[in-house]
Amino acid sequence: MLLKEVGLQLYSLRDETAKDFRGTIGKVAEMGYTGVEFAGYGGLKGSEMADLLKQNGLKAYGSHFGALPKTDEELDAEIEMNLAVGNKYLICPWHDMKDHEGALRFAEIMNRTADKLRPHGLRLGYHNHDHDMAVDQGEVLLDTLLANTEEDIFMEFDVFWVEYAGFSPLRYISRYAGRQPLMHLKELGADRKSNVEIGAGISDFAAFIRLGREIGTEHFIVEQEEYTMPPLESCRKSLESLLKL
């Protein structure tokens, strides 16, 4: 078995968590996921979230904590929550980098934010989309960003978006070895556009996971943005396919 522990990005079940956050967390655990990555906290306090995870035998693998920059008040709330649940990885899930200069400005924001998180033992990361792979001044914007951020600022490569943009996930995983504690596993459909359940597309997850382990990836996290079946069934199917690799 290639993987025994797999996390789920809770954005995958955004409609379900909006209706019943606690109950959905229980269903994630019942599927066999061992951890979650947050995309919001369901209105719970840190102590309540810690208890909910403990009750369901889940760990916090990361948190997509929204766009940057954040006010000091917003950042303090994120620090408090993530210390309470034992999560050290906070990820900016999106930034609209339009050009080289935009990537440099965002790198400054990332560095300032990381400076505020570092004293608490927390690390800042970035989750890519396809627009981050645009080229300006002869360089991929994501490469510009990473070349101008501190070494402890990490990447959470979403292999779907790297492939969607026409690049090799293996090349990027190798290039940034040591800066990838988390990896998003998302399946690219045969049309090279759609997000389907893992096992129903063309992505080589065995290779991604093998290389990720070699370069120090700690947690592999499923994310479903689109579905060919009901969301809960979709997330269950993707996990089952991974565990059969």
- Which amino acid is residue 205, in one-letter code? F
- Which pLDDT value is given to residue 35? 98
pLDDT at residue 1, as a whole number = 45
Residue 65's pLDDT band (cuts 50, 70, 90): very high
Residue 211 has pLDDT above 60, yes or no: yes
CB-CB contact of 230 with 15 (8 Å): no
CA 137 – CA 127 distance, rounded (Å)? 22
Q: In this predicted structure, what is the pLDDT of residue 120?
A: 98
Within a domain: residue 28?
Answer: yes
230 domain residue, yes or no? yes
Whether 2 maps to a domain, the answer reads: no
- The encoded tokens of residue 88 equal 């050290």
- State the Cα–Cα distance between residues 215 and 205, nearest whole angstrom: 15
Here the tokens at position 197 are 């359940």
Contacts of 16 (CB under 8 A, 6+ apart): 24, 27, 231, 232
**H/E element, 170:** helix 169-175
Q: Using CA atoms in the order 40, 110, 154, 90, what is the torsion angle rounded to 10 degrees? A: -20
What mean pLDDT is predicted for residues 33-45?
98
Mean per-residue pLDDT of the chain: 97
Q: 198 in a domain, yes or no?
A: yes
pLDDT at 82: 98
DSSP strand pairing (123-127 vs 35-38): unpaired
Residue 245 banded pLDDT, cuts 50, 70, 90: confident
Q: Looking at the DSSP assignment, which residues form a beta bridge with residue 182?
A: 156, 219
The pLDDT tens digits for 119-131 are: 999 999 999 999 9
- Domain extent at residue 26: 7-243
239 is a domain residue: yes
pLDDT at 3: 84
Distances from the Cα of 152 to the Cα of 32, 95, 177, angstroms: 31, 19, 12
Domain count for the chain, please give it: 1
* Domain assignment present for 1: no
- Phi and psi based region of residue 38 (left: phi greater than 0; alpha: psi -120 to 50; beta: remaining): beta
The tokens of 37 are what?
């990555």
pLDDT at 212: 97
User: What integer is the mean pLDDT of 195-207?
Assistant: 97
- Within 8 A by CB and 6+ apart from 86, the residues are 50, 59, 60
User: Pairing between strand 89-92 and 123-127?
Assistant: parallel
Average pLDDT over residues 8-15: 98
Q: What are phi and psi of 228, to 5 degrees?
A: -110, 5
What is the share, in percent, of the chain residues with pLDDT greater than 70? Answer: 100
Nearest Cα to 186, choosing from 127, 142, 102?
127
Contact 60, 93 (CB under 8 A): no
With bands split at pLDDT 50, 70 and 90, how would you rate the model's confidence at 97?
very high
pLDDT digits (tens, 9 = 90+) for 67-87: 999 999 999 999 999 999 999
**What secondary structure letter does DSSP report for 189?**
P
Beta strands in 30-130 (DSSP E): 35-38, 59-64, 89-92, 123-127
Decide if pLDDT at 2 tops 90.
no
> Residue 171: pLDDT above 80?
yes
Beta pairing partners, 158 = 184
Q: What is the CATH number of the domain that holds 208?
A: 3.20.20.150
